Amino acid sequence: MKTISLLIIAVSLSLSVQAQQLPTKDQSRVRKTIINFFETLSNRDSVNLKNYCTDDILLFEYGQMWNLDTLIRKAIRQNTATDFKRINTIDFITSSVDKNSAWASYNLHSDIIREGKHITMHWLETVVVVKERKKWKIKVLHSTLIKRS
């Protein structure tokens, strides 16, 4: 009986730890901004990319600090392979919203095809998002490469 009670407690605790709350309306909007940001990068669309980030965005990539021009140059203009395709999967870890600012942490997995080669990338990222004229935009993105294969 004691073993069954311990088993029930252990299962109950594991289920409660794994349960996640649904994101709030604002958290969902912030997450959608992040998803759209990466979708425009995948589409190599520098015009629409600007809709999802502030003019003074800072990106911390590979030990470097990038601005919007650097991002566009490295991720869009230098990426000219005709067979380019990038599919992103974002697994949100946490997010928080406070009036006109928010932040989110997530795992970004990207499957990339370029010049006939397929690579898979995994980053752990955190973004700071701010509300500008009632629209959420990425202000800071910090990225840590976890795996490249």
CA distances (Å), origin 24, targets 32, 37, 100, 146: 12, 20, 14, 29
* Residue 3 domain-assigned (yes or no): no
* Residue 85 domain-assigned (yes or no): yes
Give dist(CA 3, CA 115) in Å, integer: 58
* Residue 11 domain-assigned (yes or no): no
Question: Residue 38 pLDDT more than 60?
Answer: yes
Question: Residue 50 pLDDT more than 90?
Answer: yes
* Residue 59 domain-assigned (yes or no): yes
- Percentage of residues in the chain having pLDDT higher than 70: 87
Contacts (Cβ under 8 Å, ≥6 apart) of 74: 66
Could you tell me which residue, 81 or 88, shows the higher pLDDT?
88
Could you tell me which residue, 146 or 8, shows the higher pLDDT?
146
> According to the model, what pLDDT value does residue 60 have?
97
Give dist(CA 73, CA 97) in Å, integer: 31
- Domain total of the chain: 1
Contacts (Cβ under 8 Å, ≥6 apart) of 53: 37, 68, 137, 138, 139
* Residue 96 domain-assigned (yes or no): yes
* Residue 17 domain-assigned (yes or no): no
Q: How does residue 2 score in pLDDT terms, banded at 50, 70 and 90?
A: low
* Residue 142 domain-assigned (yes or no): yes
* Residue 130: CATH number of its domain: 3.10.450.50
* Residue 136 domain-assigned (yes or no): yes
For 59, the domain range is 23-148
Question: Residue 8 pLDDT more than 90?
Answer: no
pLDDT, tens digit, 9 for 90 and up, residues 89-145: 999 999 999 999 999 999 999 999 999 999 999 999 999 999 999 999 999 999 999
